[in-house]
């Protein structure tokens, strides 16, 4: 196992999942829930998100082959998507759909998907599984670590907001967004480089 690369992938996935940015949304959606019920809902939603993400990780090659997508196109699209997400983290607007309607209990949407298992996270997993399919155990460990940290932060969201406050949470989210910009640009450059390399090879 390459622990340095596993740690790098886990940090990247954690930044994309953006648990600190999701804390206010989770608190808003679950504002009318009792603490015990709230914890149960969060646990259910994060488990559903993990199942979905693991599914995309292990089915990555099948999905790419079925859709006829190349690694370079996925890398470019993932880089663009990550750049947009990181810009929204640095310059956050009002979150749509964050208000819960009465005592209605959310299921899958919007907490598990797209807040945790969002399109950018899925794109990264598809890229990892397609580039190095022989290292699925490594990528599974990275995903599980990122998911575990995300789940712990979301379960502890009331205490986080109490100690950090809205400003502290936003400051940390912006810092994570700035780091993610660098990752997004590198992904985009790698995709462009691979695409140009494929054209030269074809010629």
pLDDT tens for 22-71 read 988 898 888 888 889 999 999 999 999 999 999 999 998 888 888 888 88
The answer to whether residue 103 is domain-embedded is no
pLDDT tens column, 165-189: 878 888 888 999 999 999 999 999 9
154 found inside a domain: yes
Tokens 């919007």 locate to 110
Residue 99 lies in a domain: no
Residue 15 is part of which domain span? Answer: 3-93+108-202
The pair of three-digit structure tokens given for residue 162, joined into one six-digit string = 């109490």
Q: List pLDDT tens digits, range 66-99.
A: 888 888 898 999 899 999 989 988 987 655 444 4
Q: How much is the CA Rg of the chain, to the nearest whole Å?
A: 18
Residue 102 resides in a domain = no
Q: Give domain status of residue 165, yes or no.
A: yes
Report if residue 12 sits inside a domain.
Answer: yes
Q: How far is CA 148 from CA 99, 139, 153, in A?
A: 25, 14, 9
User: By CB neighbour count within 10 A (0-12 exposed, 13-18 middle, 19+ buried), where does 116 fall?
Assistant: buried
Query: Which two three-digit tokens encode residue 54?
Result: 């693991």
Would 100 be classed as within a structural domain?
no
| Six-digit token string for 177 | 């967004």
What is the count of structural domains for the chain? Answer: 1
Residue 101 lies in a domain: no
């Amino acid at each position: 196992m390459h622990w340095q690369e596993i740690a790098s992938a886990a940090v990247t996935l954690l930044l994309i999942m953006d648990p600190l940015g999701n804390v206010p949304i989770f608190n808003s959606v679950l504002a009318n829930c009792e603490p015990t019920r709230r914890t149960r809902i969060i646990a259910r939603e994060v488990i559903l998100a993990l199942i979905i993400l693991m599914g995309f990780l292990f089915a990555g090659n099948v999905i790419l082959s079925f859709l006829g997508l190349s690694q370079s196109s996925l890398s470019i699209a993932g880089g663009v998507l990550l750049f947009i997400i990181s810009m929204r983290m640095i310059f956050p607007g009002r979150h749509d759909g964050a208000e819960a309607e009465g005592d209605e209990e959310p299921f899958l949407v919007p907490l598990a998907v797209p807040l945790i298992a969002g399109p950018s996270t899925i794109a990264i997993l598809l890229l990892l599984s397609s580039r190095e399919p022989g290292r699925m155990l490594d990528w599974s460990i990275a995903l599980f670590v990122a998911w575990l940290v995300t789940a712990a932060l979301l379960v502890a969201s009331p205490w986080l907001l109490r100690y950090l406050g809205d400003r502290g949470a936003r400051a940390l989210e912006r810092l994570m967004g700035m780091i993610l910009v660098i990752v997004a640009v590198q992904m985009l450059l790698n995709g462009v480089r691979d695409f140009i390399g494929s054209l030269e090879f074809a010629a």
